[in-house]
Chains A and B, each alone.
Chain A
Amino acid sequence: MQISLSHFLAVGALLFAFGIVTVATRRNAVGVLMGVELILNGANVNFVAFNRYVGSAGTQTFDAIGGQVFSLFVIVLAAAEAAVGLAIVLAIFQTFKSIDVRSADLMRE
Chain B
Amino acid sequence: MHETARELGQIAVTHASYLWLIPFFPILGATINALIGWKLQKVFGKKIVHRIAITAMFAAFAVAVRAYWQLLHLDPEHRFLQDTLWNLLTAGRLTVDLSFALDPLSMMMVLVITGIGSLIHVFSIGYMADEPSYWRYFSYLNLFVFAMLLLVMGDNFAVMFFGWEGVGLASYLLISFWHADAEKAKAGMKAFVANRFGDFGFLAGLFLLFWTLGGTWMPRPQGSPNPRYGTTVELRGQAVDTRPIASAANAAQSAALAPMVDGVKVGPTMNFRELRDQVVIEATGVKEHLVGATIWGIPVLMLVGILLFVGAMGKSAQIPLYVWLPDAMAGPTPVSALIHAATMVTAGVYMVARLNFLFALSPSAMGWVALIGAVTAIFAASIGFFQYDIKKVLAYSTVSQLGFMFIGVGVGAYWAGVYHLLTHAFFKATLFLGSGSVILGCHHEQDMRKMGGLKKYMPVTRWTYLAACWAIAGFPWMNGFYSKDEILWKAFTSGHLALFGHPTPWLGPVIYLVGIVAATGTSFYMFRSYYMTFTGEYRGGAGHHDEHNEDPHSAGATAMSAASVSVHASNGAAHLDHGTHGHPAPTAAHAVTAHDDAAHAGGHGHHGGTPHESPWNMTVVLSVLALGSFATLFIGLPAAWTHHAPILEHWLEPVLTAEVPFVEKPHWMEYAFQGLGVLAGTVGWFFAMLLFKDGKSTVPAALKERFLGLWTVVYNKYYVDEAYARVVYKPATAFAGACSWFDSNVIDRVVLLVGAITRAFANLDGAIDKYIVDGVVNAVANGTAGLGRSLRTLQTGRVQTYLYGALGGALVVVLLNFLIK
Question: A residues within 8 Å of B by Cβ?
Answer: 20, 23-25, 32, 101-102, 104-109
B672 within 8 A of A: no
B804 within 8 A of A: yes
CB of A105, distance to nearest CB on chain B (Å): 3
Contact A23 B803 (CB under 8 A): yes
Contact B797 A106 (CB under 8 A): yes
CB of B798, distance to nearest CB on chain A (Å): 6
Name B799's closest neighbour in chain A (CB-CB).
Answer: A101
**Distance, CA A108 to CA B800, complexed state (A):** 13
With A20-B807, A24-B804 known as contacts, the answer to whether A108 contacts B799 (CB < 8 A) is no
Contact B804 A101 (CB under 8 A): no
Range class of the B interface residue count = under 10
Contact A24 B795 (CB under 8 A): no
Name B795's closest neighbour in chain A (CB-CB).
Answer: A108
**Which residue in B797, B804, B807 is a CB contact (below 8 Å) of A107?**
B797
**Which residue in B796, B803, B804 is a CB contact (below 8 Å) of A108?**
B796
Contact B800 A101 (CB under 8 A): yes
- CB-defined contacts of B800 to chain A, threshold 8 Å: 23-25, 101-102
- CB-defined contacts of B803 to chain A, threshold 8 Å: 23-24
Name A27's closest neighbour in chain B (CB-CB).
Answer: B800
Name A20's closest neighbour in chain B (CB-CB).
Answer: B807
**Distance, CA A106 to CA B803, complexed state (A):** 18
**Distance, CA A104 to CA B796, complexed state (A):** 10
Complex A-B, nearest 4 residue pairs according to Cβ-Cβ distance, in ascending order: A105-B797, A108-B797, A24-B803, A24-B800
**Distance, CA A32 to CA B804, complexed state (A):** 14
**Distance, CA A59 to CA B803, complexed state (A):** 41
- A-B residue pairs in contact (CB < 8 Å), sample of 24: A20-B807, A23-B800, A23-B803, A24-B800, A24-B803, A24-B804, A24-B807, A25-B800, A32-B799, A101-B798, A101-B799, A101-B800, A102-B798, A102-B800, A104-B797, A105-B796, A105-B797, A105-B798, A106-B797, A107-B797, A108-B795, A108-B796, A108-B797, A109-B797
CB of B271, distance to nearest CB on chain A (Å): 93
- CB-defined contacts of B804 to chain A, threshold 8 Å: 24
12 further contact pairs, Cβ within 8 A, besides A25-B800, A105-B796 = A20-B807, A23-B803, A24-B807, A32-B799, A101-B798, A102-B800, A105-B797, A105-B798, A106-B797, A108-B796, A108-B797, A109-B797
Name A25's closest neighbour in chain B (CB-CB).
Answer: B800
CB of B300, distance to nearest CB on chain A (Å): 97
- CB-defined contacts of B796 to chain A, threshold 8 Å: 105, 108
**Distance, CA A23 to CA B799, complexed state (A):** 9
CB of A91, distance to nearest CB on chain B (Å): 15
Name B810's closest neighbour in chain A (CB-CB).
Answer: A20
Q: What string of 1s and 0s marks CB contacts (under 8 Å) between B3-44 and chain A?
A: 000000000000000000000000000000000000000000
Name B796's closest neighbour in chain A (CB-CB).
Answer: A108
**Distance, CA A106 to CA B796, complexed state (A):** 9
| Residues 761-815 of B at the A interface (beta carbon under 8 Å) | 795-800, 803-804, 807
**Distance, CA A108 to CA B795, complexed state (A):** 6
- CB-defined contacts of B797 to chain A, threshold 8 Å: 104-109
CB of A27, distance to nearest CB on chain B (Å): 8
**Distance, CA A20 to CA B800, complexed state (A):** 10
**Distance, CA A104 to CA B795, complexed state (A):** 13
**Distance, CA A39 to CA B804, complexed state (A):** 16
CB of B790, distance to nearest CB on chain A (Å): 15
- CB-defined contacts of A101 to chain B, threshold 8 Å: 798-800
**Distance, CA A82 to CA B799, complexed state (A):** 17
- CB-defined contacts of A105 to chain B, threshold 8 Å: 796-798
- CB-defined contacts of B795 to chain A, threshold 8 Å: 108
CB of B235, distance to nearest CB on chain A (Å): 100
- CB-defined contacts of A24 to chain B, threshold 8 Å: 800, 803-804, 807
**Distance, CA A23 to CA B801, complexed state (A):** 11
- CB-defined contacts of B807 to chain A, threshold 8 Å: 20, 24
**Distance, CA A106 to CA B800, complexed state (A):** 15
- CB-defined contacts of A23 to chain B, threshold 8 Å: 800, 803
**Distance, CA A83 to CA B804, complexed state (A):** 25
CB of A46, distance to nearest CB on chain B (Å): 17
Name A105's closest neighbour in chain B (CB-CB).
Answer: B797
- CB-defined contacts of A106 to chain B, threshold 8 Å: 797
Name B803's closest neighbour in chain A (CB-CB).
Answer: A24
Name A102's closest neighbour in chain B (CB-CB).
Answer: B798
CB of A26, distance to nearest CB on chain B (Å): 9
- CB-defined contacts of B798 to chain A, threshold 8 Å: 101-102, 105
**Distance, CA A108 to CA B797, complexed state (A):** 4
- CB-defined contacts of A25 to chain B, threshold 8 Å: 800
**Distance, CA A20 to CA B810, complexed state (A):** 13
CB of B674, distance to nearest CB on chain A (Å): 127
**Distance, CA A99 to CA B796, complexed state (A):** 18
CB of A15, distance to nearest CB on chain B (Å): 16
**Distance, CA A32 to CA B798, complexed state (A):** 13
CB of B459, distance to nearest CB on chain A (Å): 122
CB of B373, distance to nearest CB on chain A (Å): 108
Name B793's closest neighbour in chain A (CB-CB).
Answer: A108
**Distance, CA A20 to CA B795, complexed state (A):** 21
